[in-house]
Amino acid sequence: MARSPKTAAAAAHSLGKPLKRSFFARSVLEVAPDLIGATLLVDGVGGIIVEVEAYHHTEPAAHSFNGPTPRNLVMFGPAGFSYVYRSYGIHWCVNFVCEKAGSASAVLIRALEPTHGIPAMRRRRGLHDERSLCSGPGKLCEALGITIAHSGLPLDTPPIALHARVGKPEIVTGLRIGITKAVDLPWRYGLKDSKFLSKRF
DNA sequence: ATCGCGATCTGCT
DNA sequence: GCAGATCGCGATC
Domain ranges of chain A: 16-191
CATH superfamily of A16-191: Methylpurine-DNA glycosylase (MPG) (3.10.300.10)
Point out the least confidently predicted range of A9-13, A43-47, A109-113, A128-132. A9-13
- Residue A171 pLDDT greater than 90, yes or no: yes
- Residue A122 pLDDT greater than 60, yes or no: yes
Strands (E), chain A: 39-42, 45-55, 82-87, 91-98, 105-116, 160-163, 171-174, 188-191
- Residue A85 pLDDT greater than 50, yes or no: yes
In this prediction, residue A61 carries a pLDDT of: 96
Distance A3 CA to C11 C1' (A): 51
Q: Which residue is nearest to nucleotide C4 (CA to C1')?
A: A88
> Nearest to residue A46, comparing CAs of A125, A113, A138, A132?
A113
A2 — pLDDT class (breaks 50, 70, 90): very low
Q: What mean pLDDT comes out for the span A108-112?
A: 98
Distance CA A28, CA A44 (A): 26
Tell if A89 CB is < 7 Å from nucleic strand B.
yes
How far does Cα A131 stand from its chain's mean position?
17
In this prediction, residue A11 carries a pLDDT of: 57
Tell if A126 CB is < 7 Å from nucleic strand B.
no
A191 bridge partner residues: A171
> Nearest to residue A93, comparing CAs of A53, A120, A127?
A53
Q: What mean pLDDT comes out for the span A1-9?
A: 52
Q: What mean pLDDT comes out for the span A190-197?
A: 96
Distances (CA, A) of A120 to A46, A109, A128, A148, A198: 10, 20, 12, 20, 20
Q: What mean pLDDT comes out for the span A134-149?
A: 98
In this prediction, residue A13 carries a pLDDT of: 72
Pairing state of beta strands A91-98 and A82-87? antiparallel
In this prediction, residue A1 carries a pLDDT of: 43
Q: What mean pLDDT comes out for the span A79-100?
A: 97
Distance A127 CA to B6 C1' (A): 21
Tell if A148 CB is < 7 Å from nucleic strand B.
yes
Other C-beta atoms closer than 10 Å to the C-beta of A184 total: 9
CB A34 within 8 A of CB A96: no
In this prediction, residue A8 carries a pLDDT of: 52
Q: What is the mean pLDDT of chain A?
A: 94
When comparing pLDDT for A121 and A8, which is higher? A121
In this prediction, residue A10 carries a pLDDT of: 52
